[in-house]
Amino acid sequence: MQTGKVLVLGDDTRSFLAAVRSLGRAGLTVHAAPANFRSPSLASRYIAAIHDIPPWMGDGSAWLAAMRTLLGAERYDLVIPCNETTLLPLARHRAELAPLARLAIPEDAAIDALFDKQATRALAERLGIPIAPGRALRAGENAEDVIAELGAPVLVKPRHSYTLERLATRGKVQVAGEARQLAAILARAKPGATLLEGFFPGSGLGVSVLASRGRVLQAFEHHRVHEEAGSSYYRVSAPLAPDLLAACGAIMAALDYTGLAMFEFRRDAAGRFVLLEVNARPWGSMPLPVALGVDFPYRWYRLLVAGEETGSVSYRTGVYGRNLMPDLRSLRATLQDPGLGTAVRARLAATWALRLFRPLAGREVHDVMVRDDPRPALAEVAEVGREVAVRLGRLVPGSEQRHARRLVATLRQAGGAHQPGGARIVFVCQGNICRSPFAASLLRSLLDRAVPAGGRVEVGSAGMMPAPDRPSPPEAIAEAAARGIDLASHRSAWLSRAEADAATLLVVFDEINRAALLDRHPGVAAKVLGLGNLAGIGAIADPWGRGPEAYRRAYDAITRAVDALAAQLQR
Residue 358 pLDDT > 90: no
Confidence of residue 384 (pLDDT cuts 50, 70, 90): confident
Q: Which amino acid is at 164?
A: L
**Cβ count near 141 (within 10 Å):** 18
| The pLDDT of residue 417 | 42
Among 549, 400, 404, 391, smallest CA distance to 479 is for 549
Q: What is the pLDDT of residue 346?
A: 77
At residue 536 the predicted structure's pLDDT band, cuts being 50, 70 and 90, is confident
**Is the model more confident about 390 or about 229?**
390
Stated pTM of the model: 0.90
pLDDT at 419: 45
Total length of the chain: 571
DSSP alpha helix (H) spans, 369-415: 375-394, 399-413
Q: How confident is the model at residue 453 (pLDDT cuts 50, 70, 90)?
A: very low
Per-position b or e across 237-271, b if 16+ CB within 10 A of its CB: bbeebeebbebbbbbbebbebbbbbbbbbbbeeee
Cα(11)–Cα(83) distance, integer angstroms: 10
pLDDT confidence tier of residue 329, bands split at 50, 70 and 90: confident
- Same fold for the domain at 5-105 and the one at 133-198? no
Give the tens place of pLDDT for each residue, 143-187: 999 999 999 999 999 999 999 988 888 888 999 999 999 999 999
Highest mean pLDDT among 315-329, 440-454, 492-506: 492-506
For the chain, the 3-state helix, strand and coil shares in percent, each to the nearest 5, are: 45, 20, 35
Task: Encode pLDDT of 120-150 as tens digits.
Answer: 999 999 999 999 999 999 998 899 999 999 9
State the chain's mean pLDDT as an integer: 90
More confident residue, 325 or 42: 42
User: How would you classify the pairing of strands 29-33 and 47-50?
Assistant: parallel
Domain extents for the chain? Answer: 5-105, 133-198, 399-570
Cα→Cα distances 385→140, 238, 381, Å:
51, 36, 6
CATH of 399-570, one of 3.30.56.10, 3.40.50.2300, 3.40.980.10, 1.10.730.10: 3.40.50.2300
Contact 202, 266 (CB under 8 A): yes
- Identify the CA nearest to 531 among candidates 509, 506, 556: 509
pLDDT of residue 455: 45
pLDDT tens-digit series, residues 198-242: 999 999 999 999 999 999 999 999 999 876 555 678 899 999 999
Kindly tell me if the per-residue pLDDT of 42 is higher than 80: yes
Question: Most confidently modeled of 209-213, 283-287, 323-327, 510-514?
Answer: 209-213
- Fold of the CATH domain 133-198: Dna Ligase; domain 1 (3.30.1490)
What pLDDT does 503 receive?
92
Q: What is the pLDDT of residue 49?
A: 98
Range list of β-strands (E), 414-545: 424-429, 458-463, 505-508, 528-530
CATH 3.40.50.720, applies to 5-105: yes
pLDDT digits (tens, 9 = 90+) for 54-102: 999 999 999 999 999 999 999 999 999 999 999 999 999 999 999 999 9
Over 90: is that where the pLDDT of 397 sits? Answer: no
Per residue in 411-439, pLDDT (tens digit) is 655 444 444 446 889 999 999 999 999 99
Per-residue pLDDT for 334 more than 90? no
pLDDT above 90 for 315? yes
Q: Residue 505: pLDDT above 60?
A: yes
Which residues carry out catalysis?
429, 435, 542
The CA distance from 489 to 470, in Å, is 10
